Amino acid sequence: MRKNVAFAPMFSDELAGLKIPALSGRGSKNNRLIIRTIALKGPMLKYAIHKDVSIGLYSTVSRRVDSLVEREYLAEASKRVTARGKRMPESEYGLTWRGFIASITIKEVRENIPQVLEKNRLLAFPEKELILPLMKELVTPHELEVIARSILEAYLKTIPSLELVSNEPMSLLTWFFNIRDKPKFPEGFKLSKWPKDSEELLDLLDKPSILKAIKEIVVPLIRQQTVAAEEWHKLLSVFNRFGSFIANLEVEDQPSKRVKEFLKTELLPRLSELQEA
């Protein structure tokens, strides 16, 4: 019985309301519904949000969305022409990173973080296509919920207010790196699917999604870095030859004249070749 309680943590709504202004006070219930819906379904038109959530009037939804955009929890993700009205392009609204942090105060969102990151295109980062398959294969929804809840609670205890933190990934991450209190995980908490050794780590290659991510992301990156390293090696070799040439000069060799000749006949042509390549 004790184990079940330990592994069913509850997030503090009081803490969320204190540090995330959009989740407290007037309109907070509707804000939470809108943020949850967009988190799980991706960018939506105001009309689609109105049809999906139980908020009564369309005008109420529209005001709430406008407020969340103004406070940078949401932003325009795209435009599309609908079959309604004057067939003018309408905005679809998606989560910003501030909105993402607000959304993971909701248990259902925490359990579906890979889905949220996939569906909300504004939540972009370079390693996204590699990290998402790993998250899906290595962490269960329940484990993800526990991890996200524990880290978020420690994060919110550290920041002054989410709306006082710049809505930029690096600025938001800076606060993560400066969390004052270590995240508290349930006693005995372990990732059940995490590889126990190098053999199990290699077994992940049998997972189609992970093999695909490695082939399409990691391998091209390695090749790119290898080419860059080779170019740097060639460039350094040229300057190393120049250094060796200088080291062997004596005053009676008329160094300035010899260096000018070396630059003209060897160094500059070689650098030009490397640039053209």
CATH top class, domain 2-177 = mainly alpha
pLDDT of res. 80: 83
119 is written with which tokens?
């569906």
Residue pair 57/34 in contact (Cβ under 8 Å)? The answer is no
How many whole angstroms separate alpha carbon 1 and alpha carbon 46?
A: 45
Which pLDDT belongs to residue 115?
95
Write phi, then psi, for 170 (nearest 5 degrees). -70, -35
Q: CB within 8 A of 255, min separation 6: which ones?
A: 246, 249
Q: What is the pLDDT of residue 83?
A: 66
Residue 42: predicted pLDDT? 96
Q: Which residue has the tokens 């406070």?
A: 71
Structure tokens at 12: 């503090």
Determine which helix (DSSP H) or strand (DSSP E) holds 94, and give its type and residue range.
strand 89-95
Q: Looking at the DSSP assignment, which residues form a beta bridge with residue 75?
A: 94
Q: Which of 33, 29, 6 is nearest to 17 (CA)?
A: 29
How confident is the prediction along the chain (277 residues), in pLDDT tens digits per residue? Answer: 334 434 444 567 888 989 999 999 889 999 999 999 999 999 999 999 999 998 889 999 999 999 999 999 999 999 887 766 667 788 999 999 999 999 999 999 999 999 999 999 999 988 888 889 989 989 999 999 999 999 999 999 999 999 999 999 888 888 888 888 888 888 888 888 888 888 888 888 888 888 887 887 778 778 888 888 888 888 888 888 888 888 888 888 788 888 888 888 888 888 787 777 6
Q: Which residues contact residue 118 at a Cβ distance below 8 angstroms, ignoring those fewer than 6 apart?
A: 132
Tell me the two tokens of residue 250.
Answer: 């004596």
In Å, what is the CA distance from 37 to each residue of 111, 120, 233? 14, 11, 52
- Residue 44, both tokens: 């939506």
Tell me the longest C-alpha to C-alpha distance in the chain.
93
Q: Residue 139 contacts by C-beta under 8 Å, 6 or more apart in sequence?
A: 147, 191, 193, 194
Q: Give the start-to-end residue ranges of the domains of the chain.
A: 2-177, 203-276
Alpha helix ranges (H) inside the chain: 2-6, 13-19, 28-41, 46-52, 58-70, 97-103, 107-110, 113-119, 128-138, 141-158, 169-177, 198-203, 208-213, 219-247, 255-262, 268-276
